[in-house]
Amino acid sequence: MKPNPMPTPPVLAESHLDEIRTLIEQRSAILLDASRERFFSTRVREFLEEKELPDGGELLRSVRGSSIEYEELLERLLTQETSFFRYPAVYEALQKKILPEVQERKVWHNPRTLRIWSAGCSTGEEPYSIAITVTDSLKFAEAWEIEILATDISRRALRHAERGHYPKRSLQYMEPRHVDAHFESTKVGYQIRQRTRRMISFAHMNLAEAPYVGKLDCIFCMNVLMYFSEERRLQILRRFYDALEPGGFFVLGHSETLSNLPMKFESVVLGDCRIYRKPVAAELNRALAVVESGL
């Protein structure tokens, strides 16, 4: 009796990978460059095998022809690493600098609104950490209309975020008073409390498109911009700048910085944390006057 032939692995040529890379950059603006080559080819191969497709050509036909298949592949290629209070210094800056400044600037506003955007919120740990800090630090919070907008391109991550249920280990470094105030204990983890959950509006959004988000007091975009080309990053930063109120803040991840930008962000250093502020009108006018008088 002849032995069963070994199943042949699907063919995934370099040219297929290149086409998939181009497709993802065109549709979702995500750049899968050489630094993530291994991650990329392994994930695509896994997808191909799971779908039992014979080769990369079939995979391309499938993802080009169906947005469901495309999104399923995209989900595999996204990095969703995140955690509660990921960089504690950032939340200290929110508490000690950003919120007090917004409070002072808007003291006579009616209604008094506070709008913060977590752009690339992944599974929700970031917007919930923002909500917890705001609840803790904003004076006379009941006099404010607070909205935290949390967006991501990954529908799977958003579903997790909206559910607001996390395993115990996710909260292990959180202050016990925060856990008690904002979560209910369940058999297998913790569930975010409704009053904290209600502060956040979750929405599916591709940052490469130009969605209207209204004016904001603060934008968190941590560990997301690194996935875009230089040109795309500039376009997105321009939109962030335009969406910020004068005096509004912009927060990046720990190892990310802004440089060589055509728009004017002020850099504010607090301990080992750097955040950025859009100048308030008077400061902007002064800066322009200086430029004009130098012409």
Ligand X SMILES: C[S@@+](CC[C@H](N)C(=O)[O-])C[C@H]1O[C@@H](n2cnc3c(N)ncnc32)[C@H](O)[C@@H]1O
Site residues (vs ligand X, CB under 6 A): 28-30, 78-82, 86, 120, 122, 126, 152-154, 157, 205-208, 222-224, 227, 253
Cβ distance to ligand X smaller for residue 126 or 217: 126
**Smaller CB separation from ligand X, 30 or 138:** 30
Give the shortest CB-126-to-ligand X separation in angstroms.
5
Closest approach, Cβ 84 to ligand X, in A, equals: 9
Q: Are 99 and 138 a contacting pair, CB within 8 Å?
A: yes
Please state the closest distance from residue 272 (CB atom) to ligand X, in A: 17
Residue 160: count other Cβ atoms within 10 Å of its Cβ: 18
Work out how close the CB of 13 gets to ligand X at its nearest, in angstroms, rounded to a whole number: 26
* Cβ closest to ligand X, residue 86 vs residue 264: 86
In angstroms, the CA 108 to CA 92 distance is: 25
Q: Assess contact for 23 and 40: CB atoms under 8 A.
A: no
Select 203 or 284, whichever has its Cβ closest to ligand X. 203
> Shortest distance, CB of residue 210 to ligand X, whole angstroms?
12
Q: How far is the CB of 141 from ligand X (least distance, A)?
A: 24
Least distance to ligand X, CB of residue 253, Å? 5
99 versus 158: smaller Cβ distance to ligand X = 158
Nearer to ligand X, 12 or 148 (CB): 148
With respect to ligand X, which residue has the nearer C-beta, 53 or 158? 158
Residue 81 or 145: the one with the smaller Cβ distance to ligand X is 81
Using CA atoms, how far apart are residues 122 and 207, in angstroms rounded to an integer? 13
- Distance between CA 104 and CA 112 in Å, rounded? 11
Residue 68 backbone phi and psi in degrees, to 5 = -65, -45
The distance of closest approach from Cβ of residue 181 to ligand X in the complex, given in angstroms and rounded to an integer, is 22
Rounded distance between C-alpha atoms, residue 109 and residue 144, angstroms: 10
Number of residues in the chain:
295
